[in-house]
C-alpha cells in the first residue's frame, strides 16, 4: 500500500485528484434528477479540467510568472532569485553572478532574461483564464434555459418533466 | 435508477481510461516536463514566453502579455463568447413588450436609506463600499501589466459593484445607474475596441493584432511600448464587455427576464 | 470598417483574407448590437452585407489556394518560433467548406427575413447578432491552425447555437435545448481535455507543430497519453456531430427550434464538426498514426455502419417531417465518419467524406428549407399533413423533390456522386458492411421520400385543416399568407436545389480540388 502511495500516487497526486473530481462531476451530470444539480455537476466537471491544466504548469519551487520590475527598464530579474531557496539554488546563483558581471544588461541581453525554471509555466494559466470565462458563459446560458424550463413545466425534476413531455406526446 | 447504473458505467470507464493515462504523465511539479521545458530538439513555447516576452512587449506580467498579445486572437473570441452568452440569455429569457407588467409591483424606494429602517445599515454600508469596489476594479484593470489582474478580473469586480447595489436595494436602482440599453451598448463597444485595435494594425499594413505598428499613433518609443499600451487598450475593451454582460446575466437571471424587482 | 477594407490595395487584401473572413461578420454583429436595437430595419441589410463580404472573401481565398497554394496567417505577426502566436490556415481541405458556410449563411439569411413579421420582433436584432456570431465561430473553426483556438471558437459557435435553439422555442424545445447544452459542453470539455494531454506531451498547441513532433519522435507518438488525447478529442467531436451512439441531443434540439435557426444549424454544425474530425486526423495526428492499427479503423467503421442503419430506421418511425430529417442527419454523419475512417489506399473514402460534407450541407439545407416553408405557410409539421401541398406550392415542391432525390442518391444530383466515392472507398478497403449499409440507407431513403411524394402529390384532401395552431409550438404558428413574402423562402430553396445539381455535375472538378491536399499529405508537415 505504501509503495503504491509512493510510486503511483505521490508523483501524480494532482492528476489523481483531477480525475476523481471530474468523475464526481460526470456522475452528477448523468445520474442526478434535478436540473440544477446537473449544472453543479457540469461546473465541477469543467473545474476539474482547469485543475488539470494548472497542474501541468506547476514547477517545483517556482514563483508566479511575473518579472520583478524595479522601475529601471533593463533591470529585470525573476522574483525567485531574491533569496528564494530551493532545488534551483545553483541556477539562481549562476544567474545572480551573471547579473553582477553584466552590469545593466544592455550589452548582455541574456543576463536579464530570467531562468525558466524559476517561474511557473504561464501558458496553462492563460488557457484556463479562457476556459473559466467559457465556463461562466455556459453556466449563465444553461441557468437561463433552466428558468425557461421552470416557466414552461413548473418543475426542475427531470422525471416530472419527462412525464409531462410524454403526456404531451400522446395528446398530439 | 437506470440513469444511475448508466452513470456509474460511464464514470468507471472514463475514469479508468484517464487514470490509465495519468501513470504515463511526467511527475507533478517537474520543471523539465515537455509542457514546461519542451521535447528533445524543441524548447517548449512557454520557455520562449518566460525568457523573451519582456523583450518583445515590455510587460512584466507574462500571463498578461501572452493573453493579450501572443494569444490575443483567442482572448478576443473569449470576449465574444461572453458577449454571445449575454445575447443568448437575452434572447432566451428576456420578456419584452408586455407593458402591463412593466409597472413595479412593489413601491420603489428612490435611494438607499429611504423606506424601511432596517435598510439603513445595509444601504449605508453599500454606499460606502461601492466606490471602493469600483476604484479597486479600475486598479485591477489598469495594473494587469504588473500584477495579477486585467480586463476579465477587473470587469467582474466592476460588475460586482453594480450587483451589490441590486442586492442591497433592488434591481431597479442598479438599472437606473446602468440601464439595459446602455449595458448592451457597452458590451458591443468593448468588443469594437478590441477588434478596432486589431483592424487598426491591418490598416497600417500589418497583420491583425500586430500592435507594434501602432507606434506612430500611440507615440511611444519603440514598438515594444506600443504593444504594451495597446494591451492596456484591449484590456479596457475586455473590461467593458465583461462588466456589461456579467451585470446583464445577473439582472436577467435574478428577475426571470422581467428586469424589475429582482431577488 | 468594411469600406476601409474595400479601399485597401488588392495585394494587401489578399494577405488579410483569413482575418477578414472572421472580422466581417463580427463587425456586422457589433453594428447590429449597437444600432439594430433602435431600428430593426437595418438588421437584415447589415447581416446580408457582412455575409456577402465573407462570401467574396471565401471565393477569393479559394482562388488563391488553387492558384498559389495554401494560405498561412499568423495573428499578431508572431511567426517564429512556431507556436507562440496563433496560426490560421487555409488549404484545399477547408477552403470549399468556407465557401459552403458562406453560401448557406447567405441563403438562410433570406429565409430568416420573415421573422420580422413575427410576434417576437423585439428580439430581431439579437437573433441576427447571434446568427452572425455563429458564422464567426464556424469560419473560425474552419480556419483555425491552433488546437486551443479551435476550442474557443467551438465555444463561440456552441453558445450562439444554444441561444438560437432556445430562443422563442416551444415547451419541448426548452428541455431539448437544456440537453443540448449539457451534451455540447461535455463534448467541448472532452476536446479541451484531449488538447491538454497533447500539450502535456508535446509542449505546443500549434497543429502543424504537434504533427511534426509526433512524426519525428516515435516514443512520444507511441505514448499512452497521446492515444488517450486522440480518444478524448474524437469522442468530444463525436458528441458535437451527433455520431451514434452520442446523437441523443440532436433530433429534439433541431426539430423543436425556430425554422430559421434549424436551417442554419442543421446543415452547418454537424458538417463543421466532421471537418474538425478530419482536420485533427490529417493535420494533428497524421493518417499514418491514426491508421497504424487497423482494429480502431474497423471499430469506427462498424460504429458508422450502426449509425447509418439506426439513423435510417429511426427516421422511418417518425411522423414529423423535421424529426425524420434529423434522424437522416444522424445517418449522414455515419456516412462521413465511416468514409473518413475507411483507410483505403487511394483515400477515396476520405475524399468521399469531404465531398459529402459539401453535398450534405446542400441537401440538408434544401430539405430543411422546404420543411420550414411547409411549416410556416401551411402549418404542416407532420408527414400526413402534407397532403395536396405539392399542388398548392409547386416551386417549394420542386426544391423538396430535388433535395429528396439527392438524399436518395439519384444522378445527376450530388448525393449520387458522394455515395459513389464512398462506395468506391468501401470496396477498395474491403469494408463490405459499409457498402451494404450505404445501399440499404439509400433504399430506406427512397421508401421514405416516395411515401411523402405520394401523400403530397396524390393526396386530395383540401389544405384547410393544416393551418391550425399547434399548442406545443407557439413560436411557429402559421401566419396569414399575406404577411409572408413568398420569395424569401422559395428563392433560397431553388438556389440550393440548383447548387445540388451543380455540385453533382461538376463533381469531377470538385473532387480534384479536394484531392490536391490529400495527394500532398506526406509533405503536409514540411509545408511551413
Distance separating alpha carbons of residues C128 and C49, to the nearest angstrom: 12
Q: Using pLDDT thresholds of 50, 70 and 90, give the confidence band for residue B97.
A: low
The distance between the two most distant Cα atoms of chain A, rounded to a whole number of Å, is 86
Q: For chain A, list the domains and their CATH numbers.
A: 2-58+121-171 (1.10.287.3510), 67-118 (no CATH)
Q: Which of C148, C152, C182 sits opposite A29 (nearest CB)?
A: C182
According to DSSP, the residues that pair with B209 across neighbouring strands are: none
Looking at chain B, which residue has its C-alpha nearest residue A134? B81
* Contact (CB<8Å) B77/C156: yes
Looking at chain A, which residue has its C-alpha nearest residue C84? A123
Q: What is the residue extent of each domain of chain B?
A: 60-254
* Contact (CB<8Å) C196/A49: yes
Q: Is residue C84 over pLDDT 70?
A: yes
**Model pLDDT for residues C292-336, shown as the tens digit of each residue:** 878 888 999 999 999 999 999 999 988 888 899 999 999 999 999
Q: Is residue C527 over pLDDT 50?
A: no
Using DSSP's 3-state secondary structure scheme, residue A58 falls into coil
Model pLDDT, residue A146: 93
Model pLDDT, residue A164: 87
- The mean pLDDT value of chain C amounts to 85
Q: Which of B52-56, C332-336, C372-376, C387-391 has the lowest mean pLDDT?
A: C387-391
* Contact (CB<8Å) A12/B55: no
Distance of CA A80 to the CA centre of its chain: 22
Q: Mean per-residue pLDDT for C500-507?
A: 91
Pairwise pLDDT comparison (B166 vs B258), residue with the higher score? B166
Pairwise pLDDT comparison (C117 vs B150), residue with the higher score? B150
**Model pLDDT for residues C23-53, shown as the tens digit of each residue:** 999 999 999 988 877 777 888 889 999 999 9
Pairwise pLDDT comparison (C513 vs A112), residue with the higher score? C513
Model pLDDT, residue B86: 93
Q: Using pLDDT thresholds of 50, 70 and 90, give the confidence band for residue C3.
A: very low
Mutate to test the interface with C, among A11, A27, A31, A141 (most CBs of C within 10 A): A141
Mutate to test the interface with B, among A84, A88, A121 (most CBs of B within 10 A): A121
Please tell me the distance in Å from A49's CA to the nearest CA on chain C.
Answer: 7
Are C46 and B188 in contact by the 8 Å Cβ rule? The answer is no
Q: Mean per-residue pLDDT for B204-231?
A: 87
3-state secondary structure labels for all residues of C236-274: HHHHHHCCCCCCCCHHHHHHCCCHHHHHHHHHHHHHHHH
Question: Residue A129: its chain B contacts at CB < 8 A?
Answer: 63, 67, 78, 152
Looking at chain C, which residue has its C-alpha nearest residue B202? C16
Model pLDDT, residue C221: 87
Q: Annotate B71-95 with b (16+ C-beta within 10 A) or e (fewer).
A: bbbbbbbbbbbbbbbbbbbbbbbbb
Model pLDDT, residue A76: 44
Q: Is residue B152 over pLDDT 80?
A: yes
Model pLDDT, residue C234: 94
Nearest to C357 by CA among C239, C233, C510, C145: C510
Give alpha helix (H) positions in C8-123.
10-15, 17-31, 43-68, 95-111
Distance of CA C318 to the CA centre of its chain: 23
Question: Residue A35: its chain C contacts at CB < 8 A?
Answer: 178
Q: Which of B37, B47, B81 sits opposite A137 (nearest CB)?
A: B81
Q: Say if C175 is an interface residue toward chain A (CB within 8 Å).
A: yes
* Contact (CB<8Å) A142/C189: no
Q: Is residue C361 over pLDDT 50?
A: yes
Please tell me the distance in Å from A43's CA to the nearest CA on chain B.
Answer: 16
Q: Mean per-residue pLDDT for C255-265?
A: 86
Per-residue pLDDT of chain A (172 residues; tens, 9 = 90+): 677 777 777 788 889 999 999 999 999 999 999 999 999 999 999 999 999 999 988 888 888 888 876 544 444 444 444 434 444 443 444 444 344 333 333 333 444 667 888 888 999 999 999 999 999 999 999 999 999 899 888 888 888 888 888 887 765 4
Q: Which of A11, A15, A114 sits opposite B51 (nearest CB)?
A: A114
Q: Is residue B250 over pLDDT 70?
A: yes
Model pLDDT, residue C125: 87
Would you say the C-alpha torsion C36, C42, C43, C46 has a positive or negative sign? negative
Q: Using pLDDT thresholds of 50, 70 and 90, give the confidence band for residue C118.
A: low
Q: Using pLDDT thresholds of 50, 70 and 90, give the confidence band for residue B239.
A: very high
Distance separating alpha carbons of residues A134 and A77, to the nearest angstrom: 34
Reply yes or no: is the peptide bond before residue C148 cis, omega within 30 of 0: no
Model pLDDT, residue A64: 85
Q: Which of A42-56, B99-113, C406-420 has the lowest mean pLDDT?
A: B99-113
Distance separating alpha carbons of residues C104 and C503, to the nearest angstrom: 14
Q: Mean per-residue pLDDT for C99-112?
A: 91
Amino acid at each position: 500500500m505504501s509503495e503504491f502511495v509512493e510510486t503511483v500516487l505521490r508523483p501524480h497526486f494532482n492528476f489523481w485528484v483531477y480525475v476523481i473530481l471530474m468523475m464526481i462531476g460526470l456522475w452528477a451530470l448523468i445520474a442526478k434528477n434535478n436540473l440544477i444539480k446537473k449544472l453543479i455537476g457540469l461546473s465541477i466537471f469543467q473545474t476539474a479540467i482547469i485543475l488539470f491544466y494548472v497542474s501541468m504548469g506547476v514547477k517545483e519551487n517556482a514563483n508566479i510568472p511575473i518579472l520583478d520590475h524595479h522601475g529601471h527598464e533593463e533591470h529585470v530579474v525573476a522574483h525567485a532569485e531574491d533569496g528564494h531557496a530551493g532545488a534551483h539554488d545553483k541556477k539562481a546563483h549562476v544567474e545572480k553572478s551573471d547579473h553582477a558581471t553584466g552590469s545593466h544588461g544592455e550589452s548582455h541581453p541574456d543576463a536579464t532574461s530570467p531562468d525558466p525554471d524559476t517561474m511557473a509555466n504561464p501558458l496553462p494559466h492563460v488557457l484556463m483564464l479562457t476556459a473559466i470565462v467559457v465556463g461562466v458563459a455556459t453556466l449563465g446560458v444553461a441557468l437561463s434555459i433552466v428558468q425557461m424550463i421552470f416557466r414552461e413545466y413548473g418543475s426542475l425534476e427531470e422525471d416530472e418533466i419527462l412525464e409531462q413531455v410524454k403526456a404531451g406526446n400522446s395528446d398530439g | 435508477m437506470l440513469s444511475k447504473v448508466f452513470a456509474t458505467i460511464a464514470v468507471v470507464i472514463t475514469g479508468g481510461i484517464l487514470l490509465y493515462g495519468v501513470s504515463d504523465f511526467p511527475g507533478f511539479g517537474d520543471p523539465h516536463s515537455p509542457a514546461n521545458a519542451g521535447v528533445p530538439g524543441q524548447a517548449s513555447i512557454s520557455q520562449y514566453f518566460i525568457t523573451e516576452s519582456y523583450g518583445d512587449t515590455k510587460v512584466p506580467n507574462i500571463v498578461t502579455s501572452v493573453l493579450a498579445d501572443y494569444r490575443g486572437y483567442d482572448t478576443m473570441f473569449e470576449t465574444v463568447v461572453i458577449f454571445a452568452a449575454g445575447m443568448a440569455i437575452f434572447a432566451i429569457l428576456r420578456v419584452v413588450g408586455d407593458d402591463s407588467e412593466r409597472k413595479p409591483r412593489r413601491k420603489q424606494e428612490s435611494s438607499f436609506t429611504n423606506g424601511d429602517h432596517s435598510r439603513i445599515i445595509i444601504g449605508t454600508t453599500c454606499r460606502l463600499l461601492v466606490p471602493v469596489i469600483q476604484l479597486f476594479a479600475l486598479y485591477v484593470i489598469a495594473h494587469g501589466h504588473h500584477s495579477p489582474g486585467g480586463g476579465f478580473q477587473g470587469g467582474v469586480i466592476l460588475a460586482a459593484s453594480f450587483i451589490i447595489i441590486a442586492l442591497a436595494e433592488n434591481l431597479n436602482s442598479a438599472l437606473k445607474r446602468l440601464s439595459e440599453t446602455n449595458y448592451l451598448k457597452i458590451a458591443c463597444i468593448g468588443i469594437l475596441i478590441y477588434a478596432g485595435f486589431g483592424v487598426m494594425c491591418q490598416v497600417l499594413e500589418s497583420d491583425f493584432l500586430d500592435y507594434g505598428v501602432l507606434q506612430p499613433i500611440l507615440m511611444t518609443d519603440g514598438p515594444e511600448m506600443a504593444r504594451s499600451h495597446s494591451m492596456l487598450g484591449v484590456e479596457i475593451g475586455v473590461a467593458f464587455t465583461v462588466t456589461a454582460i456579467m451585470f446583464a446575466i445577473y439582472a436577467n437571471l435574478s428577475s426571470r427576464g422581467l428586469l424589475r424587482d429582482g431577488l | 470598417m468594411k469600406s476601409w477594407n474595400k479601399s485597401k490595395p488588392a495585394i494587401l487584401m489578399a494577405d488579410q483574407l483569413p482575418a477578414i473572413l472572421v472580422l466581417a461578420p463580427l463587425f456586422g454583429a457589433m453594428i447590429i448590437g449597437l444600432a439594430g436595437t433602435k431600428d430593426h430595419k437595418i438588421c437584415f441589410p447589415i447581416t446580408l452585407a457582412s455575409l456577402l463580404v465573407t462570401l467574396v472573401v471565401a471565393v477569393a481565398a479559394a482562388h488563391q489556394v488553387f492558384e498559389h497554394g495554401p494560405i498561412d496567417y499568423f495573428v499578431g505577426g508572431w511567426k517564429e518560433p512556431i507556436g507562440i502566436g496563433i496560426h490560421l490556415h487555409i488549404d484545399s481541405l477547408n477552403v470549399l467548406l468556407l465557401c459552403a458556410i458562406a453560401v448557406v449563411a447567405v441563403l438562410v439569411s433570406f429565409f430568416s427575413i420573415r421573422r420580422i413579421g413575427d410576434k417576437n420582433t423585439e428580439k430581431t436584432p439579437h437573433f441576427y447578432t447571434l446568427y452572425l456570431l455563429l458564422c464567426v465561430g464556424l469560419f473560425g473553426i474552419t480556419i483555425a491552425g491552433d488546437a486551443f483556438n479551435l476550442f474557443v471558437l467551438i465555444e463561440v459557435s456552441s453558445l450562439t447555437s444554444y441561444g438560437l435553439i432556445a430562443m422563442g422555442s416551444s415547451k419541448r424545445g426548452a428541455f431539448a435545448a437544456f440537453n443540448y447544452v449539457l451534451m455540447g459542453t461535455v463534448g467541448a470539455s472532452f476536446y479541451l481535455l484531449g488538447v491538454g494531454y497533447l500539450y502535456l506531451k508535446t509542449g505546443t498547441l500549434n497543429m502543424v507543430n504537434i504533427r511534426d513532433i509526433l512524426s519525428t519522435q516515435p516514443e512520444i507518438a507511441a505514448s499512452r497519453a497521446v492515444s488517450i488525447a486522440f480518444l478524448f478529442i474524437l469522442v468530444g467531436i463525436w458528441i458535437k456531430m451527433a455520431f451514434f451512439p452520442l446523437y441523443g441531443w440532436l433530433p429534439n434540439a433541431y426539430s423543436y427550434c425556430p425554422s430559421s435557426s434549424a436551417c442554419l444549424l442543421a446543415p452547418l454544425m454537424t458538417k463543421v464538426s466532421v471537418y474538425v474530425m478530419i482536420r485533427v486526423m490529417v493535420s494533428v495526428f497524421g493518417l499514418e498514426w491514426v491508421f497504424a492499427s487497423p482494429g480502431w479503423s474497423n471499430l469506427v467503421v462498424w460504429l458508422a455502419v450502426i449509425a447509418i442503419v439506426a439513423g435510417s430506421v429511426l427516421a422511418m418511425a417518425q411522423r414529423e417531417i423535421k424529426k425524420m430529417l434529423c434522424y437522416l442527419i444522424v445517418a449522414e454523419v455515419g456516412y462521413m465518419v465511416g468514409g473518413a475512417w475507411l483507410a483505403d489506399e487511394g483515400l477515396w473514402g476520405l475524399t468521399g467524406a469531404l465531398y459529402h460534407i459539401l453535398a450534405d450541407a446542400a441537401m440538408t439545407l434544401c430539405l430543411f428549407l422546404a420543411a420550414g416553408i411547409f411549416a410556416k405557410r401551411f402549418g404542416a409539421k407532420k408527414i400526413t399533413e402534407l397532403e395536396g401541398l405539392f399542388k398548392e406550392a409547386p416551386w417549394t415542391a420542386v426544391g423538396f423533390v430535388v433535395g429528396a432525390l439527392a438524399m436518395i442518391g439519384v444522378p445527376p444530383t450530388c448525393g449520387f456522386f458522394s455515395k459513389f466515392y464512398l462506395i468506391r472507398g468501401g470496396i477498395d478497403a474491403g469494408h463490405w458492411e459499409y457498402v451494404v449499409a450505404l445501399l440499404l440507407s439509400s433504399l430506406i431513403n427512397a421508401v421514405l421520400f416516395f411515401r411523402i411524394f405520394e401523400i403530397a402529390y396524390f393526396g386530395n384532401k383540401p389544405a384547410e385543416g393544416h393551418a391550425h395552431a399547434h399548442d406545443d409550438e407557439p413560436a411557429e404558428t402559421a401566419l396569414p399568407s399575406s404577411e409572408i413574402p413568398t420569395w424569401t423562402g422559395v428563392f433560397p430553396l431553388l438556389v440550393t436545389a440548383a447548387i445540388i445539381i451543380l455540385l453533382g455535375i461538376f463533381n469531377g472538378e470538385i473532387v480534384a480540388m479536394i484531392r490536391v491536399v490529400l495527394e500532398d499529405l506526406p509533405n503536409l508537415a514540411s509545408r511551413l
